[in-house]
């Protein structure tokens, strides 16, 4: 059963478990929603489509899509078919050393297909099978076992997308490890202070680098500039705040770390291809339509 508050979905975990795994066979679509859980989708039979922002991901059988927490997304089902959907509470592993780095690299939806990433896809599907067996068993400590498998899954992803030899090819191994540790501190600092005025000089000082050296390393590590990453983090927060009908655009801008409405509008539109006002109106309109349909069906 879906529990919706506007477009925020509270995951209906079973028996107070922080993990939900089920085979979805519905041919109905899921309207735009977001949740604090990480969601992993893998079609079993037939295709499945997921719309995130302006991007539509077309999943074939065996493809795996990982949706980060807080990402507004819509699910489009074929007339028949089935798919595994795994949701879990990320906060229970968020404090593990190195996890912050992995989710910095995977802070956008990631589609791992059989066609383009065969080896990684095969490894993940094997782990997914183990999670499924454990979830449907009566084993003691099965939640711990499942989380250990989820961690294993993200280790596979981290090693693929965070290979330090590829990120820092001209740096010695001991320096690579040192840089990883420093970037852990950097991303923790950004997550805690994104609503503040963080300058390049400030974050470089936190890292212990010159701003020029820091800028180069940050781009190598994340594939985007520091300011783009910071704005991306702020926009993600703004998306959630815009869903609150009681908050004005100005309040959302300030709470998200933007110093002016003009900057907020420009940056938000560059990431989401619509203004904050258009975004807010779009989903309020969708909610009104959805509520109207609900009222008609209950009469």
- Quick one: how far is CA 249 from the chain centroid? 24
For the segment 200-204, the average pLDDT, to the nearest whole number, is: 94
Q: Domain 168-282: what homologous superfamily?
A: Homeodomain-like (1.10.10.60)
Quote the distance between the C-alpha of residue 30 and its chain's center.
18
CB-based burial of residue 72 (10 Å sphere; 0-12 exposed, 13-18 middle, 19+ buried)? buried
Sign of CA dihedral 156, 226, 273, 293: positive
Q: What is the pLDDT of residue 272?
A: 77
Q: What was the pLDDT predicted at 130?
A: 97
- pLDDT (mean) for 46-50: 97
Give the integer Cα–Cα distance in Å for 26 and 30. Answer: 10
How confident is the model over 61-110, as pLDDT tens digits?
999 999 988 788 899 999 999 999 999 988 888 778 767 667 766 677 89
**Tens-place pLDDT, residues 237-292:** 898 888 888 999 999 999 999 999 999 999 998 887 788 998 888 766 555 544 44
Res 181 pLDDT > 70: yes
Return all residues near 46 (Cβ < 8 A) that are at least 6 apart. 61, 78, 80, 81, 82
The predicted model gives 170-196 an average pLDDT of 80
Range(s) within the chain of domains with CATH label 2.60.120.280:
3-162
Residues of the chain with CATH 1.10.10.60: 168-282
pLDDT, tens digit, 9 for 90 and up, residues 128-173? 999 999 999 999 999 999 999 999 999 998 888 766 555 665 666 6
- Higher-confidence residue of 252 and 293: namely 252
Measure the CA–CA gap between 123 and 252, rounded to whole angstroms: 41
Q: What is the CATH number of domain 3-162?
A: 2.60.120.280
Q: What is the pLDDT of residue 172?
A: 67
């Amino acid at each position: 059963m879906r529990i919706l508050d506007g477009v925020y979905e509270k995951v209906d975990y079973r028996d107070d478990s922080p993990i939900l795994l089920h085979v979805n066979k519905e041919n109905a679509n899921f309207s735009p929603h977001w949740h604090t859980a990480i969601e992993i989708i893998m079609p079993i039979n037939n295709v499945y489509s997921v719309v995130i922002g302006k991007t539509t991901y077309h999943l074939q059988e065996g493809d795996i899509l990982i949706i980060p927490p807080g990402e507004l997304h819509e699910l489009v089902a074929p007339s028949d078919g089935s798919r595994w959907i795994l949701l879990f509470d990320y906060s229970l592993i968020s404090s593990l050393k190195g996890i912050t780095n992995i989710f910095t690299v995977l802070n956008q939806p990631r589609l791992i297909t059989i066609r383009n990433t065969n080896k990684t896809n095969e490894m993940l599907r094997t782990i997914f099978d183990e999670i499924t067996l454990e979830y449907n068993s009566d084993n003691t400590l099965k939640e711990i076992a499942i989380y250990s498998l989820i961690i294993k899954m993200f280790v596979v992803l981290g090693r693929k997308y965070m290979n330090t030899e590829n990120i820092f090819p001209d740096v010695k191994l001991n320096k690579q490890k040192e840089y990883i540790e420093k970037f852990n501190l950097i991303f923790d600092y950004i997550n805690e202070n994104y609503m503040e005025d963080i300058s390049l000089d400030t974050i470089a000082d936190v890292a212990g680098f010159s701003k020029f050296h820091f800028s180069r390393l940050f781009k190598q590590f994340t594939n985007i500039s520091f300011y783009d990453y910071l704005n991306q983090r702020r926009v993600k927060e703004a998306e959630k705040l815009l869903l609150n009908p009681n908050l004005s655009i100005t309040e959302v801008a300030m709470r998200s770390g933007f110093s002016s409405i003009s900057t907020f509008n420009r940056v938000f539109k560059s990431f989401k291809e619509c203004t904050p006002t258009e975004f807010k109106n779009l989903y309020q309109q969708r909610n009104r339509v959805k509520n109207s349909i609900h009222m008609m069906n209950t009469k």
